Amino acid sequence: MVTARVTGVGTALPPAFDQEEVWEGYFRAHFGGSRVAERIFRGSGVDRRHAVVSPLDEDLSGESTGVRMLRYEEHAPALGHAAVTAALASAGLTTADVGQLTIASCTGYTAPGLDVRLAASLDLPVDARRLLVGHMGCYAALPALAATTDYVVAHRRPAVLLCVELTSLHLQPPTADPSQVVSHALFSDAAAAIVLQPGDEPGGGLEVLGTTTLTDTTAQDHMTWRVTDLGFRMELSPRVPDVLGKHVRPAVEDLLGGYGLVPSDVRGWAVHPGGPRILDTTEQELDLSADALAHSRRVLREHGNCSSATVLLVLDELLARGGLRPGDPVVAMAFGPGLTLCAALLRVT
């Protein structure tokens, strides 16, 4: 049976800023010197983040959504191009090999879309397919991975999955809403891409074995991402980790059980670091060792929450530093609006 393998990873990050510096230089005044806001920033697990527009340089909080979308058109194509180019180089392929480009993004919209802009700048083959996945939020990389895997298996051609998120463009006006403070303390910008190739071709990588999705619609108001006149506004309930915690173990056990595995068999965890409590809850519910989510915590610390791109950043970190060996099972997992939990089972080849 033909499968698909992840054979290359590439990332592109805009300039970084220090979490303490941005708190003192902008957000302390933005949130009126709130002690609650300060505690949230200091407890975020983030040391630095990345932004195409840093609030230390330019305050977008009063700008219209139209202005913000123009900035998305300005910055997203270059970051996406850099990430895809790096991923293809990592896989030893060129743009002429690409049969499909899948893009996930929930932080900007334009038509022609980012897929068309990149098809032109990358000089993709004229028959290359394009798929644009929008507004699914932080978990979008994994359903996009499933769709891209289906293409590779059906057509036996390489494909690229790219996630581009520019959350810095959605800085909101001052507020006392703690959920807004949380989102402003966590979110960051990034582009990350992976290359998938038919699994029966020679070479190493991560074979995609299966994916699963679980949505608890009774908690759909716990996490929202709404278009307003002043950009996109995030609402986060403090109950999110507890609700997701109820579903993590059953979802993972169901995914692994189809391959005769249990959580203790997994040698690598690429878990989306939605925040420290999300990681703590996942670690507890799955009875993971203290260092099992070290790569997720490092990505949160060094890059923040980059929405859909984050789980690919963690996967890149895991491949580079995880000490994985052929045959090792790997689980990638992400969470987002719905409330939705998505997971993928991969195997080192």
CA 177 to chain centre: 25
Q: Which region among 199-208, 219-228, 230-239, 249-258 has the lowest average model confidence (pLDDT)? A: 199-208
What is 160-206 written as a DSSP string?
EEEEEEEGGGGPPPP---HHHHHHHHHB-EEEEEEEEEETTSSS-SE
Confidence at residue 22, expressed as pLDDT on a 0 to 100 scale: 98
Q: Could you tell me the pLDDT band of residue 200, with boundaries at 50, 70 and 90? A: confident
The CA-based angle 34-36-40, given to 5 degrees, is 120
Write down the pLDDT at residue 224. Answer: 94
Which of 172, 198, 224 is the last residue before a domain boundary? 198
Same domain, 229 and 312: yes
- Host domain of residue 177: 4-198
For residues 276 and 311, membership in a common domain is answered with yes
The verdict on 123 and 22 lying in the same domain is yes
The residues, any chain, with a CB within 8 Å of residue 8's CB and separated by 6 or more, are 87, 88, 89, 90, 91, 92, 93, 194, 195
Amino acid 39: pLDDT: 96
Confidence band, pLDDT 50/70/90 cuts, at residue 258 = very high
Q: What is the pLDDT of residues 139-157, one digit of tens each?
A: 999 999 999 999 999 999 9
pLDDT digits (tens, 9 = 90+) for 207-219: 999 999 999 999 9
For residue 320, pLDDT beyond 90? yes
319 and 182 both lie in a single domain:
no
Residue 96: name the closest of 70, 67, 119 by CA. 119
Q: How confident is the model at residue 73 (pLDDT cuts 50, 70, 90)?
A: very high
Q: Are residues 190 and 226 in the same domain?
A: no
Question: How do residues 290-306 score in pLDDT, each as one tens digit?
Answer: 899 999 999 999 999 99
User: Active-site residue 163, yes or no?
Assistant: no
pLDDT in tens, 157-174: 999 999 999 999 999 999
Residues 221, 341 share a domain: yes
User: Does one domain contain both 145 and 122?
Assistant: yes
Domain boundary among 198, 224, 258: 198
Q: Please state the rounded mean pLDDT for residues 37-50.
A: 97
Are 129 and 146 in a shared domain?
yes
Instruction: Give the per-residue pLDDT at 1.
Output: 73
* Residue 142 shares a structural domain with residue 13: yes
- Residues 252, 127 share a domain: no
Per-residue pLDDT, averaged over 215-233, amounts to 95
Q: Which of 106, 138, 306, 342 is catalytic?
A: 138
- Please report the pLDDT score of residue 9 as a whole number: 98
pLDDT for 70 beyond 90: yes
Among 163, 198, 233, the domain boundary falls at 198
Region 212-229: what's the mean pLDDT?
95
Q: Are residues 22 and 163 in the same domain?
A: yes
Q: Locate 135 and state its tokens.
A: 């507004």
Give the CATH number, domain containing residue 227.
3.40.47.10
Q: Are residues 320 and 219 part of one domain?
A: yes
Indicate whether 203 pLDDT > 80: no
Mean pLDDT over each residue of the chain, to the nearest integer? 96
How many domains are there within the chain? 2
260: which 2 tokens? Answer: 């005769």
The predicted structure's pLDDT at residue 322: 80
Residue 336 confidence (pLDDT): 95
Q: How confident is the model at residue 199 (pLDDT cuts 50, 70, 90)?
A: confident
Residue 273: predicted pLDDT = 96
